[in-house]
Chains A and B, each alone.
Chain A
């Protein structure tokens, strides 16, 4: 017995030492790139073939393991810039890990900052970041010569920097879609609407509900005999997501965007004015109109009662099997429509309704500040190389390469316009082997321009997979054709943009946090609102709704809501004036 145990312990110790030694020396600590290349890089400006390793932390496709990347796009970067990207893939949970890294000064060379409002001031105070003004002037010509780049720089200096100097670069600038489909809107089963003979549909408060009720009568069960409801939700997903479709997207369809997550202040896209009223108290405002919409839906029996207990994955499953006739998230619609195709019902499908009686519609979102914020830490031995990398990623040609892979593989230039191959369009975007082989869609969270941004030289958006003419026409289903005919529009973009004055939203406002004396109330206010939204939706009739509504509004004063509103409003107006030149820069093209 003793010998057995001793042998076991000895074996364990041996194994541990083996692993400990070999891995311990390899990559201990988190500080910057490889020693050998570092020395040569300083002399390296002349010797451009010296390869420098930069430690990068960004969201990338899971096709390659962490480390120096080998796909064609990475190889192109290596060839042209002499930079090897030693990548660590990170996801939405990177925020906490970054906090730990900040605390122990363990930052990578170039990294994504998930929560810039909180984390940038922390890092600046701890003197962990490089100031980027000079680097930008020397190496960032792509960024500084482009209007989106200029706007981003100004915006960051004014809203993200604690002292007015530049510490961050926003990547994924520009539009996320090319205007053929909004990100969040009223999507309905157009084929059923056609069947009903195109009844009146000029507002969402009453018309849309009536139409949906009629549609539900037409198709009470889906192909597999499961019950169909017109509207569904994912209310069981907590604060911030479970209530998202209820109060935000209906506002988008009328061109109004909330500036704060407590829904007190919004601005009107059409007039560019900050609302003078507290939206939570304004019974005619968007908040209450949206709530009434869902409450009426519930009263009419067209809201799935399971909405209250299901999470978004269940909602996705249901909407993709045709159990809902109305949908809000645009990114699900492609899958929904291909489901109908695969099930042998190509005439069915969902489309986004055009703007109804409004001057503004959120069709294209211009992420002026950039969808992802990056910073360069002082651990980087070659900050100029990091800036060169960001700069390289910020030209339209290179962005196209990053989105689609190098020219010749997935796409070719034809008559001065980039055209994707048919093969490319057939691929699945989440096919890891495809990503690794061609380099397409590997770094699209790290590149300079968002999916739908148009390259001014060719007039074609950078993401050919989704927004090239070929791709868009593939996605045009019979329902789209019918809709275009019905509204007498030339194209989807025309349909959604021609009738409104403003369709592009520049996400500029960043109002920061409430002051200390209001912070707790602010948090409690959001919880209070969240809980009561659902009680309001469940009100059995209009009388009860009104009673609950009055109670809710009366209860708001417990949270100093007037002070909170006053503070946000003041901040918003102030920022509007500060950012006025940037607004000018980004005016709708």
Chain B
């Protein structure tokens, strides 16, 4: 029939375009994987389809970094704890600011939102963290990001799109704010919660700057930080910090050998694969089709 012919064509065109784009996205990663497994000299010649002279030496070298296993534990811990804390705080605050009965609602909301648009600079931040005893303290990974303005906006926007009748009928039944939040709003907001969880988790997993500035205790290092510091710095930065016009600069540059590409590739693989593995578990929340009608009853 007419309809199914058009339907088929649409699916073909739509999926086809999406697949082309998907291929353009996945091939570079595949490229990185096969190059991380190939011997550097082969890689220099150009490895595009299959790894040549397969070697795990890049990965071995990374695994030999002292305390790397401890750092994996820390990274996982901060990701899990940080995500739970941030998701809860942001969802709760996001919900509260939708309640018109909240005193100073508008003021509080704006107070929080504006924080996305200014930054105070590195040194005040450092001094603040030091004053709060957050140096060399696991909490430094969790507290600063706990209440995220951006996520609050997302949650608020999402909740506001839910029919207000839900809350009203619950209130008539005598439910308190917390009950409504946990029993009604949260279950219905799973898509946006999952979205925030993914963003937070990725942010936690990839972050290293707080580690760099505020932690000297090796047992608190994260995986990303160790990998980053193992990347012998970009030569350009080394040269800039010295008098490049003389041999002094050259000397400093010569001792900061640039990391070979194979190591960089291996680092990317190690940090991306865990995310790729967890992500599908969150996807089920992005499935279309929450039957609000069913919950209404």
Contacts and interface: CB of A to CB of B under 8 A. Distances in A.
Q: Direct contact between A and B in the complex (CB less than 8 angstroms)?
A: yes
Interface of chain B, helix or strand or loop or mixed? helix
Interface string B239-278: 1110111111111111111111100000000000000000
A244 B66 contact: no
Given A93-B233, A176-B251, A12 B244 contact: no
A263 B245 contact: yes
B213 A241 contact: no
B133 A24 contact: yes
Interface in B208-222: 212-213, 216-221
Interface string B199-240: 000000000000011001111110000000110110111111
A90 to B, nearest CB: 9
A56 to B, nearest CB: 11
B241 to A, nearest CB: 6
Contacts of A66: 216-218
A501 B109 CA distance: 75
B65 to A, nearest CB: 7
B251 A317 contact: no
A44 interface: no
Contacts of A367: 247-248, 251
A128 interface: no
B251 A248 contact: no
A507 B246 contact: yes
Given A97-B213, A176-B251, A240 B239 contact: yes
A12 B84 contact: yes
Query: For this complex, into which size category does the number of interface residues on chain A fall?
Result: 35 or more
A321 interface: yes
Contacts of B257: 331, 430
A231 interface: no
A257 B213 contact: no
B87 to A, nearest CB: 9
A432 B65 CA distance: 8
A412 interface: no
11 contacts: A11-B84, A28-B135, A62-B65, A92-B233, A92-B238, A93-B212, A106-B130, A176-B247, A241-B236, A316-B258, A365-B251
Q: Which 5 A-B pairs have the closest CB atoms?
A: A19-B138, A258-B245, A331-B254, A365-B247, A65-B218
Contact of B130 (A104, A184, A371, A433): A104
A298 interface: no
Given A176-B247, A505-B247, A95 B258 contact: no
Contacts of A329: 250, 253-254
Interface stretch (B17-25, B121-129, B286-294): B121-129
A28 B136 contact: yes
Interface string B178-199: 0100110011000000000000
Contacts of B260: 313
Interface in A396-452: 430, 432-433, 445, 450
Contacts of B126: 100-101, 103-104
A1 interface: yes
B45 interface: yes
A330 to B, nearest CB: 7
B85 A100 contact: no
Contact of B139 (A16, A63, A259): A16
A100 B213 contact: yes
A239 B244 CA distance: 10
A30 interface: yes
A444 B219 CA distance: 25
A581 interface: no
A27 B213 CA distance: 14
A260 interface: yes
B139 A19 contact: yes
Interface residues of B, number: 68
Contact of B66 (A24, A65, A103): A65
B161 to A, nearest CB: 21
Contact of A16 (B138, B216, B220, B244): B138
A103 B246 contact: no
B81 interface: yes
Interface stretch (A2-10, A134-142, A198-206, A345-353): A2-10
Contact of A226 (B45, B85, B88, B229): B45
B182 A23 contact: no
B44 interface: yes
A584 B126 CA distance: 46
Contacts of B77: 15, 19
Contacts of B41: 321, 339
Given A257-B246, A313-B258, 8 more contacts: A1-B183, A1-B187, A92-B252, A114-B241, A176-B251, A183-B247, A329-B250, A505-B246
Contacts of A97: 212-213
Nearest to B65: A62
Contact of A252 (B80, B237, B247): B247
A507 to B, nearest CB: 5
A153 interface: no
Interface string B127-146: 10010010111110010000
Nearest to A20: B139
A311 B235 CA distance: 10
Most chain B beta-carbon neighbours within 10 Å: one of A27, A263, A330 = A27
B85 A257 contact: no
Contact of A100 (B45, B123, B139, B239): B123
A23 B217 contact: yes
Contact of B244 (A67, A183, A241): A241
Nearest to A6: B182
Contact of B256 (A27, A92, A224, A432): A92
A35 interface: no
Interface string B9-44: 000000000000000000000000000000001001
Interface in A1-51: 1-2, 5-6, 8-9, 11-12, 15-16, 19-20, 23-24, 26-30
Interface in A472-521: 505, 507, 510
A313 B250 contact: no
B164 interface: no
B135 A29 contact: yes
A99 interface: yes
